[in-house]
Structure 1
Amino acid sequence: MTTEVPESSPAAGRPRDPVLEQAILDATVDVVVENGFAAAKLDEIARRAGTGKAAIYRRWAGKTELVIAAAQNLQADVAVPDKGSLREDLLVCVRHYISPNARTALVLANVLAAMPRDRELRDAAGASIGRPAADALRVVIERWVGRGAVDPSVPVDLLASLVPAVAFHRVALRHEGLDETSAVAMVDNVLLPALAASQLGTATIHH
């Protein structure tokens, strides 16, 4: 794999320009959606953003980091909910995987398609996109185990990884994320029964 060398070193003390950063992220999405991850070039991204590659390298180490940032920019922030209801907490976690638009799903699909051939991308995507949301779901399940609403013998890690596996499989094959109907079905028909908590899903806890 060829590593591009930055054209210049970061300028110390230069103020960040959020408008330029957003233009670069938007251009990255466009180029990746049109050409795929492997064929996406920083020169083309910079040209579409109306800047030079040096501006990209001042903000991101290279293409992998930039594409991951662009994908994250399209997604909702990861939250660890505590709404007092097991079912509601699970829904918040699963709804993170609902794609707000087709561009989000297409970028993720291109990232997923390139991951088997690019270890750097695979590691970065796992750490920045896959793991945080799965960790949030894991925290929620463990919290409700502690509250006595979930059987402590359930395989927490397996169940926490199930939702991203289903969501990313759908993105890779159909180029679309979960929708509201499938998110609710995942919680009501898969997670709650698997957590041995289907009768406790609507129970609330008072703070």
Structure 2
Amino acid sequence: MNVLLDHLPEFRDGFLGTVSLTAASAAIALILGVLIAGCRVSPVPPLRYFGAAWVTLLRNTPLTLLFLVATFVVPQVLFPGLSAFTLAIAALGFYTSAFVCEAIRSGINTVPLGQAEAARSIGMTFFQTLRMIILPQATRTVIPPMSSIFIALTKNSAIAGAFSNVELFGVQKLLSDQGYDIVPIFIWVAIAYLVVTFSISGLFRLLERRLEVAR
């Protein structure tokens, strides 16, 4: 308990940093994931190829390598002056979007084909059908895997600490380097991660129950 009380500001900043990284990158991943999933099921071949390339590239690229590119290449070549936080949420968001995309695409595939055919028969476009008919029905089956994806995102945010971001795992390294006993530090860091992951899990369970009631 002493290590927590003696370094409460560091733990607080690390906790808020992890929450901020997770929330911001989750929003990016969700938006990109929906858009790329739309490309993956699009009747337009170039969009399908783009979606497939996006997912294949990002799912098979180590997250640490994406952080290296985001930190050392992007500011030099494309967008100079971006903060470490912005680069971190971009790396985490882009990486996670590939997994979100595949979860959403799996949910889309559970919707009976007749739903899309009926929508087209009354003159709805592909994007209207996707937005108004397919995605609302696919949401129910997408929620459980999305919970696991965002919990994994929380854990992946620990990598951001090695790239000038304040987060929980970085606090552990800071205090360990100062000579504090590593065991209590790990315990408090683990408890903080559990608070975040259980909150995400509880939120998605609530959404799942709400959608079950709406059936």
TM over 0.5, shorter chain: no
Structure with the higher helix share, 1 or 2: 2
The structure with higher relative contact order (CA 8 Å, sep 6+) is: 2
- For normalisation by structure 2, the TM-score amounts to 0.29
